[in-house]
Amino acid sequence: MITRRVIAPLVVTLMVAATAFAQTTGQKPFEPQVGQAGKDVVWVPTPQAVVDKMLDMAKVTKTDFVMDLGSGDGRTVITAAKRGARSMGIEYNPDMVELSNRNAKAAGVTDRATFVKADLFETDLSKADVITMFLLPSINLKLRPKILDLKPGTRIVSNTFTMEDWQADETATVTDGCSSSWCTALFWIVPAKVAGTWSTPSGALTLTQNFQMLSGTLGSQAVQGRLRGNEITLQAGSQKWTGTVNGNSIVFTSPSAMTATRGK
């Protein structure tokens, strides 16, 4: 959480940067307006407390590459960079990109925070470990197939808006430091693709997949299960199987060692 001790000098820095910009260019620095029109959505900033919660839910560390879709004034990208992560904002409005770059410079994180003027739907997301966004449900739904094709374990966090019938793995509402209508964070982990029939020493394992939720049979026994990235859990009667998916193999380690394989 950013404290007043941190915010005060940051505000001063931003004011100095804005003044210097105006003196150098003879122009008034661009100032975004809440509700201003964008390519796909209007701009409404995510409250800082929600930014913090979103990054907490995704467990962002310095080893992560974070991509923020529709990065606005850059606050999520900059906050991730302050945590040591490499971060990139994708923003269609060039004025917002310029503003974000100024804000990143004022925050001292230009070595880890970058901003690109680009279309969300034409951007390669495959290198991201974490994706953050504050978009409309219709945009989330349009992006969903692309997100589900990312590497299993990719973490996705959205401010307020859902992925429709892809239920969130976690949901949290921020009450401290957020008094707007946009105080809920939703978190998903991209699941591995396991639908089909697998060969195991205990018989055929046939799985039907609905996002992270699983159903099917192991031999003649019904199973229910769940994915969390590459991690799989199956309940077969009184037995709970846990393992790791690796492409066309699943290595179960509990309640006993067992490997399942699927034909290519």
- State the first-to-last Cα distance of the chain, in angstroms, to the nearest integer: 47
Q: Which of 169, 189, 209 is the last residue of a domain?
A: 189
Cβ-in-10-Å burial (0-12, 13-18, 19+) of 123 comes to middle
Q: How far apart are CA 112 and CA 119, in angstroms?
A: 21
Q: Which of 189, 218, 239 is the last residue of a domain?
A: 189
pLDDT value, residue 13: 46
pLDDT value, residue 31: 75
Q: Which of 170, 189, 208 is the last residue of a domain?
A: 189
Residue 221 lies in a domain: yes
Residues 89 and 178 in one domain: yes
Nearest to 194 by CA among 234, 235, 142, 141: 234
Cβ-in-10-Å burial (0-12, 13-18, 19+) of 42 comes to exposed
Q: Over the stretch 168-198, which tens digit does the pLDDT of each residue have? A: 999 999 999 998 889 999 999 999 999 999 9
Number of domains present in the structure of the chain: 2
- This prediction has a pTM of 0.85
Q: What is the largest CA-CA distance in the chain?
A: 77
Residues 101 and 139 in one domain: yes
Which residue stretches of the chain are H helix? 4-25, 48-57, 75-82, 94-107, 137-148
Residue 234: its H or E element: strand 231-236
Residues 94 and 222 in one domain: no
Residues 68 and 45 in one domain: yes
Q: Can you give the residue range of the structural domain that contains 225?
A: 196-262
Q: Residues of the chain whose pLDDT is less than 70?
A: 1-27, 30, 32-41, 264
Residue 229 lies in a domain: yes
Residue 69: its H or E element: strand 65-69
pLDDT value, residue 263: 84
Residues 58 and 144 in one domain: yes
Residues 132 and 205 in one domain: no
